[in-house]
Structure 1
Amino acid sequence: MKDYKYILFDLDGTLTDSKVGIAKSIKYALAKYNIEVENLESLESFVGPPLMESFKEHYSFNDEKSREALEYYREYFSKKGIFENEVYPEIQSLLEKLKMKGKILIVATSKPTIYAEKILKYFNLEGYFDFIVGSNLDGTRSSKSEVISYIISELNIKDLGKVVMIGDRKHDVIGGTKNHIHTIAVTYGYGSYEELKEAKPTYFANTPKEILDIIRNPQKPFSY
C-alpha cells in the first residue's frame, strides 16, 4: 500500500475557485486587441494551463503577441483579479487533517509563484504549505511537468512512490505522469471528466473529502 508523504496541490480549480478573476483579466487583455468577450464562462478554458499557451491555442496569437497579452492580463490580475477568488468548501479542513498526519504539503502551480504566495496569504492558507512553487514571471518553468520536476529536485525526493499530484486539469495529470508520480484528478474544478480520463490519472476524487480518503487509504488505481 502506498504511503504518500509529499502532497502536491494545483492552485486554480483545486484549492480555490479563481475563475471570475482570471476570466476578467483575460477579458481585459483581449479588449486591448479589440476582441470583446460578453460571456465570461467562455473563458473558463484559460483556468489552469499556462496562459501563453492558451492565447496561442484559442486566439492564434504568436509568441510575441502572447507575451504582450500576458502583460496586459497581469495589469488587471495583479490589482483586482487576484482577489476575485474564493477557497473551495472543505479545503481548509483537508489541509488541517493532512498536516496533523505529518504530510508535507506543496503548491505546484503554473501561476507565477509571487501571485500564488499572495493568494494563499490572503486566504490564510500559506501556513499549511511547506513549499510554494509556480512559474517565473519571465515565462520560464511554466509547464506543470517543469514545476513538479523542480520540486522533486529541490526537495531531493528519492522515493517517487511517496509523491502524489492533485489537480483539476489534464496538465496536472500529464505533468505528474511525466515525472513518474501518482496523480489524483479532482472533478469539482474546471477540467471535464472526459479531459481528465483521457490523461489517465491514478485516482479520481469528486470532493476534498475523497482526496483525504485516497491519501489515508490508497486503493487500487482507476482501471482504464
Structure 2
Amino acid sequence: MAQFSHIIFDLDGTLTDNTLGIKNSLKYALEQMQVDGYHENILDTFIGPPLQWGFSTQFGMNERDTKLAVDYFREYYGEHGWHQNDPYDGIMELLAELDAQGKRMYVATAKLEKYANKIIEHFEMDRYIIQVKGADYHAKKATKNKIIADVLTMQQLVPSKEIVMVGDTVYDIEGGNENEISTIAVGYGFGKEEDLRATNPDYFVEDVDELFELLTL
C-alpha cells in the first residue's frame, strides 16, 4: 500500500473551494474589459489553469488585453476574492493527522504565490504546510510541472514514489508524472473524472474521506 513521506497539495479544488472568489473576480475582470454575453459555465474552465490561458483561449484576447484582464482579476481578488473561500470538510483534520504522523507537506499552485500564502495563513494551514510555491506575477513559472519541480529543488528532494502530488486537475497529475513522483487525483474538485483518469494517476479518490484513508496509512 501507499506510504508517502512528502505530500504536495494543489490549493484550489484540493484543499479549499474558492469557486465563489474566482468567479466573482472573473466577472469583475470581464466587466472591466466590456465583455458580456458569455455563458457562466465558461468561468469553470478558468479554475486550475493559469489565468492567461483562460483569457486568451476562452475569450480570444491578445497579449495586451490578456495582461489587462489578469490585472483586473487580481485587483478584485486581492481585496475580496481570496477570502471568498473555504476548506473542504475534513481537510483541516487531514492536515493535523498527517502532521502528527510526521509527514512533510507543501503546496504547489498556479495561483499567484502571495495570494496562496494569504489563504494558507488565513485558515492557519501554515501550522502544517512547510512551503507554498505559486506563480510569480508574470506567470513565468505558472505551469504546474515547473512549480512542482521548484518545490522539489528548493526542498532538496530527489523524485521518488514516496513523494506524492495531490490535485484535482489534469495539470496536477501531469505535473506529478513529469516530475516522476506519485500522483493522487481527487474527484471532489474542479476536474472531470474521465479527464483525470486519462492522465493515469497512481490513485483516484472520490472524496476527502478516501484521501484521508490513503494518506494516513
TM-score with structure 2 length normalisation? 0.95
**Match runs of 1:107-118 below 5 Å:** 107-118=107-118
Q: Separation in 1 of the partners of 2:39 and 2:80?
A: 19
Q: Separation in 1 of the partners of 2:205 and 2:34?
A: 40
**Match runs of 1:46-85 below 5 Å:** 46-85=46-85
Indicate if the aligned counterparts of 2:163 and 2:182 stay in contact, CA closer than 8 A.
Answer: yes
The code of the aligned residue for 1:190 comes to F
Shift of 1:54: 1.2
Q: Separation in 2 of the partners of 1:72 and 1:132?
A: 24
Indicate if the aligned counterparts of 1:23 and 1:43 stay in contact, CA closer than 8 A.
Answer: yes
What secondary structure does 1:56 align onto? helix
Q: Deviations over 1:100-159 (max 9, x none)?
A: 110001011000111001011111212110111111112221010010000111111125
Q: Separation in 2 of the partners of 1:129 and 1:147?
A: 16
Shift of 1:57: 1.6
What secondary structure does 1:111 align onto? strand
Alignment correspondent of 2:103: 103
Q: Separation in 2 of the partners of 1:134 and 1:37?
A: 32
Shift of 1:63: 2.3
Q: Deviations over 1:159-193 (max 9, x none)?
A: 52221000011110011111111110000001111
TM-score with structure 1 length normalisation? 0.92
Tell whether 2:212 aligns with 1:180: no
The code of the aligned residue for 2:34 comes to N
Indicate if the aligned counterparts of 2:97 and 2:216 stay in contact, CA closer than 8 A.
Answer: no
Shift of 1:41: 4.4
Shift of the 183–205 alpha-carbon distance from structure 1 to 2, 3 Å rule, reads: same
Q: Deviations over 1:40-92 (max 9, x none)?
A: 44411111111101112211122222111110101100000111111110000
What secondary structure does 2:161 align onto? helix
The code of the aligned residue for 2:5 comes to K
Query: How many pairs are equivalent?
Result: 217
Identity percentage of aligned residues: 35
Query: Unmatched 5+ residue regions in structure 2?
Result: none
**Match runs of 1:12-31 below 5 Å:** 12-31=12-31
Q: Separation in 1 of the partners of 2:116 and 2:210?
A: 24
Indicate if the aligned counterparts of 2:120 and 2:126 stay in contact, CA closer than 8 A.
Answer: yes
Alignment correspondent of 1:195: 195
Q: Separation in 1 of the partners of 2:164 and 2:124?
A: 23
Q: Separation in 1 of the partners of 2:145 and 2:63?
A: 20
